[in-house]
C-alpha cells in the first residue's frame, strides 16, 4: 500500500501542521542527557576496545536504549530532539550581549537542563563532573589555555567543530545500509593497514545503530496500527512496512526516500549529541527528485510529504536545531540549469509551512529560469514569511576551483553548510567555524599601546615597544602596526584552533564518516593525522571590515587636516568621546565605506585582500590552508561589545559591521552606490564564504503580483549585484534580505497578536531565519537596526 492510497495531499499537510504544533509545545529536552548517560556506561563496558570500536558499539547501545515514540500526527518516524539541548544563545530570550563568553566550556550544556522527574540535580551534577574529566574535555581546556587571556575580550575565539558538514545521503537512499556495508567489507578485504581494517569494522558496527532504530520504530508503528482504525490504521501500516524496508534497503519511491533520510539523519546527530551544529542537507531537490520521478508523484503530494521533512528539523519550542541548511536550484558542471519539479514542490512546502527551520537557500546563475524567480516572489513580499539566502553559482564554481582546488566533476555538488559556507556534499570537512577573528579589537589595541580601553588590561606591545615616542607617530604608522599585530594574533589563533581540532578528533564519528568518504579512505572524518575526506580545511570568520576601513580613512583625514590633534583623538577614544563630542562629530564626517567613495572603498578592498591572504597562508592540523570567511553570524554584535571606541566615530561596545557590509547608518547614498562599493572587494579570496544583508523596503516594488515582484527583485537586486557587467573578476556570491521596514517590526513587537496571530513571524537573523518573536531584545533590536533603509534606497 502507498501513502497516496491512504491520504490525500491536504490531509498529509494538515498532519504536518498538527505535528509542528505538537513539537512547539515541547518545552524540555532531556534525550541528549539520557544518551550521555548511556555513553558513560559504555565507556566502562567497552573500555578494552579500540576507541573507534568502543564508540560504534556505544552508538548501537544508545539506539537500543534511547526512548522512542510515534505520535498521532506522524507520517514518518524519527526525531532530532534527542540530539539537542535548549542552548543556542541567540534564540534564548534570556540572552544578553554582555553575558556571552564564547564556546569555551566543554560542559556548559549541563546548565541547559533543569531537574525533572527522576533526573535530579544530583544526577545532572554527577554526569557533568564525569564529562569534565574526560580526555576530550581536558584536551579542549588545554587548547583554550594556549589562548590565555586573548579570548576574554574577543580578540579571537576558537571552536571545537566538525558540525558544519554536508553528508551525502544519496548512496544510502539508493543502495541502503546493506549496500554500504557490502562496500565496507570489500574495501576492508582489499586493505592491508590494520588501523584502517579496524575502522572499517567500526563503520560497519555504527551502521547497525540505524537498523536498530528502524526496527524499534517499526514495532511502535505496528502497535499504533493495531490500536487504530480506518485511514489512521492504514497510515501506520504504510509507515511500518516502509520501516521494514528502509534504510536497510534502497528506497523505491519518495515516501521511502524521506523515511530513510530522516532515520539516517537522526542517528548521525545522535552520534554527536549534544548539539551537533550544524549539519546541512545539501541540494535536496536533486536528492529526492529521482524518487519523486520513480512514481511520477504530483507536485501537491510531493510538497505535502516534504512538509513533514521540514517539521523534522524543528526541535521543541524554539526550533533549537539551528543553522541546518537546505538548498535548491543551481547549474550542472556543464552549465545546464538543474531546477526540477522537486525544487518547486520544496518551495511550495516552505511557503505553506513557514517554519523557523531549516534554512532555505537557493542557487542562482545567469541562466536561472524566470519561473524560479517568479516562485520566489511570494517569499520575499509576504510579511513575516521566510526569505531564502541566494548564492551565485557562476562565482562559487570559480572560487572553489581556484582556491579550494575542487575538481571540476565535484563543482555541481557544492552546497551550503550552516549559514553560508560552500562545501562539497559528502566530500569536504571545512571545519568552517573553527576560528573567529576580531580585527576591530586588534585595531583598538594597536592604537592604545596594547591596552584595552574597555578594561584597561594590557594585551599587546606598548607604543614604546613599537618604537613610537609621539602619539602622532602611532597614527602615521597605524597600518603597519595593525597588520603586524594582526599577524601575531592570527598565529596564536591558529595554534589554538588546531589544538581544538585535536581535541574533537578524540571523539571519532564512524557513522558520519560512512557518509563523508570514509568508506573509500578507511579514515575518520575528524582524524587530524590522516585525511579522511577528499577536501579539508579550517575556517576563520573575520569581523570588523567596515570599522577598520572607515577608521583608517578617518585617521588619514585627521593627519592631513589636523595632525596636531592626534593626541586629542586618541584621548577621545580612550574616554569614549565622553568629554569630546566635537572630535566624534569630526570623525563621523570622514568618508565611509559603502558610498562609492574611492579612498575608503579601496581601503576596504585592500584590508580584505591582505587579511584573506594572511589567513589562507596558515595551515591547519593536516597542513591544509585556513579558509577566509568574511561572515559574522550575529557575532558582529557580540564582538563589538568588547571593542572600545574607534576612529570612525563608533562608540565603545557598539556593534561592528555585519560581514562585508557597511556599518549601519554609514552607507547613506542608496543601493546603487552601496553595490558599487561592494563590487571592489576581492571575492575571489573569500573562499570560506562571505555574508551580506540588505534591508529592502517593499514599497520600491510597484508590480502587483508576487510573480511580477519576483522578476522585479531579479532585475533590481540580483542582477546588479551578482551579474553586473561593470564588475571585473569574481562577482559577489552571497546575499540575504529582509523585505520590511523598522516601523513594521516595531508594530509586530507592540502587537504580536494582530501582526503575528500564529505566534510565528519569520525574519532573517544572519545566515539563518528564526521566529522574530522568539529572540532576545538585543537580537531583535539588532535586526531592526541593520535594516538600514537609507543604504538600500532606490
What residues contact 521, with CB distance under 8 A and at least 6 apart?
Answer: 530, 531, 532, 533
Q: What percent of the chain has pLDDT over 70?
A: 98
pLDDT at 101: 57
CA dist 538 and 550 (Å) reads: 29
What digits encode the pLDDT tens for the residues 49-92?
A: 999 999 999 999 999 999 999 999 999 999 999 999 988 656 66
CB 318 within 8 A of CB 774: yes
- pLDDT category at 759 given cuts 50, 70, 90 is confident
Has residue 94 got a pLDDT over 80? no
> Closest Cα partner for 621 from 536, 514, 516?
536
- Among 27-36, 38-47, 82-91, 225-234, name the one with the lowest average pLDDT: 82-91
d(CA 679, CA 594): 10
* pLDDT (0 to 100) of residue 318: 86
Give the separation between CA 336 and CA 723, rounded to whole angstroms.
17
The answer to whether 701 and 692 have CB atoms below 8 angstroms apart is no
List, for residues 278-320, the tens digit of each pLDDT value.
899 999 999 999 999 999 999 999 999 999 999 999 999 988 8
Cis peptide bond upstream of 278, omega within 30: yes
pLDDT of residue 613: 98
Please work out, in degrees rounded to the nearest 5, the angle formed at the alpha carbon of residue 446 by the alpha carbons of 652 and 563.
85
CA 766, distance to chain mean position in Å, is: 9
Burial category of 196 from C-beta neighbours within 10 Å (exposed 0-12, middle 13-18, buried 19 and up): middle
Distance between start and end Cα atoms, the chain: 56
Express each pLDDT in 380-437 by its tens digit.
999 999 999 999 999 999 999 999 999 999 999 999 998 889 999 999 999 999 999 9
> What's the half-sphere exposure (Cβ side, CA atoms, 13 Å) at 425?
21
Band of residue 786 on the pLDDT scale cut at 50, 70, 90: confident
Tell me what the mean pLDDT of segment 346-373 comes to: 97
8 A C-beta contact, residue 644 and residue 571: no
389-392 and 421-424 beta bridge pairing: unpaired
Q: Are the CB atoms for 621 and 498 separated by under 8 Å?
A: yes
In this structure, the dihedral spanned by the alpha carbons of residues 590, 594, 599 and 603, taken in order and rounded to 10 degrees, is 110
- pLDDT score at 478: 98
Q: Which pLDDT tens digit goes with each residue over 602-651?
A: 999 999 999 999 999 999 999 999 999 999 887 888 899 999 999 999 99
Strand-pairing partners, residue 769, are 764
**Tens digit of each residue's pLDDT (9 = 90 or more) over 215-246:** 999 999 999 999 999 999 999 999 999 999 99
Confidence bin at 782 (pLDDT 50/70/90): confident
Q: Say how many C-beta atoms besides its own lie within 10 A of residue 519's C-beta.
A: 20
The percent of the chain in helix, strand and coil, each rounded to the nearest 5, is: 55, 10, 40
Quickly list DSSP for 587-619.
HHTS--TTS--HHHHHHHHHHHHHHHHHHHTSB
Under 8 Å between Cβ of 600 and 554: no
- pLDDT of res. 794: 87
Give the pLDDT mean for 484-503: 97
Per-residue pLDDT at 416: 95
Average pLDDT over all residues of the chain = 95
Is the per-residue pLDDT at 161 higher than 80?
Answer: no
Give the closest residue to 596 by CA, choosing from 686, 681, 714, 701: 681
Mean pLDDT, range 473-496, rounded to an integer: 97
Asked whether the predicted pLDDT for residue 163 surpasses 70, the reply is: no
Q: Evaluate if residue 764 carries a pLDDT over 90.
A: no
Domain ranges in the chain?
1-103+166-277, 135-158+427-669, 324-425+671-793
Read off the pTM.
0.96
What pLDDT score does 278 carry?
83
What is the tens place of the pLDDT at every residue in 697-749? 999 999 999 999 999 999 999 999 999 998 989 999 999 999 999 999 999 99
Share above pLDDT 90 across residues of the chain, in percent, rounded to a whole number: 87
Amino acid at each position: 500500500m502507498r501513502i497516496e492510497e491512504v491520504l490525500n495531499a491536504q490531509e498529509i499537510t494538515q498532519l504536518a501542521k498538527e505535528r509542528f504544533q505538537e513539537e512547539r509545545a515541547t518545552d524540555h529536552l532531556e534525550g541528549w542527557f539520557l544518551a550521555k548517560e548511556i555513553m558513560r556506561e559504555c565507556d566502562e563496558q567497552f573500555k578494552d576496545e579500540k576507541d573507534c570500536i568502543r564508540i560504534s558499539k556505544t552508538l548501537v547501545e544508545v539506539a537500543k536504549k534511547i526512548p522512542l515514540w510515534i505520535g498521532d500526527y506522524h507520517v514518518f518516524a524519527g526525531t532530532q530532539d534527542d540530539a539537542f539541548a535548549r542552548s543556542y544563545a541567540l534564540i534564548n530570550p534570556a540572552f544578553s550581549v554582555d553575558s556571552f563568553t564564547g564556546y569555551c566550556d566543554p560542559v556548559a550544556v549541563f546548565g541547559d537542563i533543569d531537574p525533572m522527574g527522576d533526573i535530579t540535580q544530583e544526577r545532572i551534577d554527577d554526569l557533568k563532573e564525569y564529562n569534565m574529566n574526560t580526555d576530550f574535555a581536558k584536551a579542549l581546556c588545554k587548547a583554550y589555555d594556549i589562548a590565555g587571556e586573548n579570548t576574554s575580550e574577543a580578540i579571537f575565539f576558537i571552536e571545537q567543530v566538525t558540525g558544519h558538514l554536508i553528508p551525502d545521503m544519496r548512496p544510502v537512499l539508493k543502495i541502503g545500509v546493506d549496500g554500504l556495508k557490502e562496500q565496507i567489507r570489500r574495501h576492508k578485504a582489499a586493505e592491508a593497514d590494520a588501523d584502517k581494517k579496524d575502522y572499517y569494522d567500526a563503520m560497519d558496527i555504527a551502521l547497525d545503530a540505524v537498523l536498530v532504530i528502524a526496527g524499534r520504530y517499526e514495532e511502535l508503528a505496528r502497535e499504533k496500527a493495531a490500536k487504530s482504525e480506518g485511514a489512521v490504521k492504514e497510515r501506520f501500516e504504510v509507515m511500518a512496512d516502509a520501516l521494514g524496508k528502509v534504510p536497510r534497503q534502497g528506497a523505491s519511491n519518495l515516501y521511502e526516500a524521506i523515511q530513510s533520510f530522516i532515520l539516517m539523519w537522526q542517528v548521525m546527530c545522535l552520534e554527536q549529541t549534544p548539539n551537533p551544529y550544524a549539519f546541512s542537507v545539501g541540494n535536496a531537490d536533486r536528492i529526492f527528485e529521482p524518487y519523486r520521478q520513480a512514481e511520477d508523484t504530483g507536485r501537491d503530494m510531493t510538497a505535502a510529504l516534504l512538509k513533514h521533512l521540514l517539521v523534522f528539523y524543528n526541535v521543541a519550542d524554539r526550533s533549537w536545531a539551528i543553522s541546518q541548511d537546505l538548498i535548491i536550484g543551481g547549474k550542472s558542471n556543464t552549465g545546464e540549469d538543474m531546477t526540477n519539479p522537486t525544487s518547486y514542490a520544496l518551495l511550495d512546502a516552505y511557503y505553506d509551512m513557514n517554519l523557523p527551520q531549516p534554512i532555505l537557500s537557493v542557487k542562482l546563475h545567469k541562466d536561472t529560469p524566470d519561473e524560479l524567480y517568479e516562485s520566489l516572489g511570494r517569499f520575499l513580499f509576504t510579511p513575516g514569511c521566510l526569505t531564502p539566502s541566494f548564492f551565485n553559482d557562476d562565482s562559487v564554481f570559480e572560487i572553489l576551483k581556484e582556491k579550494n582546488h575542487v575538481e571540476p566533476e565535484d563543482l555541481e555538488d557544492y552546497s551550503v553548510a550552516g549559514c553560508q559556507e560552500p562545501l562539497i556534499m559528502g566530500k569536504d570537512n571545512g571545519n568552517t567555524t573553527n576560528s573567529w577573528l576580531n580585527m576591530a579589537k586588534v585595531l583598538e589595541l594597536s592604537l592604545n599601546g596594547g591596552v584595552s580601553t574597555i578594561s584597561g588590561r594590557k594585551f599587546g606591545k606598548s607604543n614604546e615597544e613599537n618604537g613610537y615616542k609621539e602619539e602622532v607617530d602611532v597614527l602615521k604608522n597605524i597600518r603597519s602596526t595593525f597588520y603586524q599585530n594582526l599577524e601575531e594574533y592570527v598565529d596564536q589563533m591558529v595554534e589554538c584552533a588546531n589544538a581544538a581540532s585535536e581535541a574533537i578528533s578524540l571523539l571519532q564519528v564512524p557513522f558520519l564518516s560512512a557518509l563523508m568518504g570514509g568508506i573509500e579512505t578507511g579514515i575518520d572524518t575528524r582524524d587530524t593525522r590522516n585525511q579522511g575526506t577528499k577536501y579539508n580545511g579550517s575556517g576563520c570568520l573575520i569581523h570588523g571590515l567596515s570599522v577598520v576601513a572607515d577608521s583608517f580613512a578617518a585617521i588619514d583625514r585627521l593627519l592631513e587636516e589636523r595632525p596636531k590633534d592626534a593626541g586629542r583623538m586618541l584621548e577621545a577614544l580612550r574616554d569614549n568621546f565622553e568629554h569630546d563630542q566635537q572630535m566624534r562629530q569630526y570623525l563621523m564626517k570622514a568618508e565611509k565605506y559603502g558610498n562609492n567613495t574611492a579612498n575608503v572603498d579601496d581601503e576596504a578592498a585592500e584590508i580584505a585582500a591582505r587579511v584573506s591572504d594572511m589567513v589562507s597562508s596558515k595551515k591547519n592540523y593536516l597542513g591544509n590552508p585556513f579558509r577566509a570567511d568574511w561572515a559574522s553570524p550575529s557575532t558582529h554584535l557580540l564582538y563589538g561589545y568588547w571593542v572600545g571606541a574607534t576612529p570612525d566615530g563608533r562608540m565603545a561596545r557598539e556593534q561592528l559591521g555585519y560581514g562585508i557590509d557597511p556599518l549601519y547608518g554609514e552607507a547613506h547614498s542608496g543601493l546603487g552606490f552601496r553595490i558599487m562599493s561592494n563590487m571592489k572587494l576581492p571575492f575571489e579570496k573569500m573562499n570560506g564564504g562571505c555574508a551580506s544583508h540588505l534591508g529592502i523596503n517593499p514599497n520600491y516594488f510597484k508590480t502587483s503580483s508576487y510573480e511580477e515582484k519576483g522578476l522585479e527583485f531579479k532585475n533590481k537586486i540580483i542582477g546588479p549585484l551578482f551579474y553586473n557587467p561593470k564588475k571585473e573578476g569574481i562577482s559577489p556570491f552571497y546575499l540575504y534580505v529582509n523585505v520590511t521596514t523598522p516601523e513594521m517590526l516595531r508594530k509586530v513587537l507592540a502587537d504580536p497578536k494582530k501582526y503575528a496571530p500564529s505566534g510565528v513571524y519569520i525574519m532573517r537573523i544572519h545566515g539563518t531565519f528564526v521566529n522574530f518573536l522568539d529572540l532576545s531584545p538585543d537580537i531583535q533590536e539588532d535586526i531592526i537596526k541593520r535594516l538600514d533603509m537609507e543604504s538600500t534606497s532606490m
